Chains A and B, each alone.
Chain A
């Protein structure tokens, strides 16, 4: 069965510090991968998605970036965090044939101080 891992679970970082969040998927090949951000009590904002290694599409201009160095690894990064980057970050994977179900990791709670 497929499993998706995210770490760390929580993170407190000062403004201006770098960020690296990692997501890995097990049990599937060539998945579509997604990074979302969720503000408290709100819906999901799509940040990036990837349909293959090295292929990244950005949905929202910001100081975040994403990379997919391996088929089942998706990384969210920032060189310098802003206060507004605080939120709940969710990684998800979906199948390659059309847009069907997405499967989510447990999320990372990021607080920028």
Chain B
């Protein structure tokens, strides 16, 4: 089942602007992860944030987690054309040691 829901479903911005994507989930989690998928390719892990963390940075990426609202956001600063991709959130829930629950993704287009 798909627990995560990203919004927006699609986002188109100018190169250099910041891009923000959101993810909501329903059940308690151990961690939340963000992945990127270029068209026709496999997914690439970007960042993992644990349930006891509120914010995490990796290069131009900033992820926040609000467990009280069961939501997370991914911010990409100073976007580049190469950031054009689909972005997925995935949650590791308390009741499974093996599975991630995936959202439907946000399609990000960076216009040059």
B-contacting residues of A (Cβ < 8 Å)? 32, 41-44, 46, 49, 51, 57, 88, 90, 92, 94, 98-107, 109
B105 surroundings in chain A (CB, below 8 A): 42-43
Contacting pair B103 A43 (CB below 8 A): yes
Assess whether B40 is interfacial by the CB under 8 Å rule: yes
Residues of A within 8 A of B40 (CB): 88, 107, 109
Q: Which residues does chain A contribute within 8 Å of B30, judged by CB atoms?
A: 98-99
The answer to whether A98 and B92 touch (CB under 8 A), given A43-B2, A43-B104, A49-B99, is yes
Residues of B that sit less than 8 Å from A by CB: 2, 30-31, 33, 40-45, 48, 88, 90, 92, 96-100, 102-105, 107
Closest approach, in angstroms, between the C-beta of A41 and any C-beta of chain B? 8
Inter-subunit contact B104/A51 (CB<8 Å):
no
Contact B41 A44 (CB under 8 A): no
- In the bound complex, do residue A99 and residue B42 qualify as a contact, i.e. CB atoms below 8 Å apart? no
Q: A42-B104, A43-B105 are in contact. Are A104 and B43 (CB under 8 A)?
A: yes
User: Do the beta carbons of A103 and B99 come within 8 Å of each other?
Assistant: no
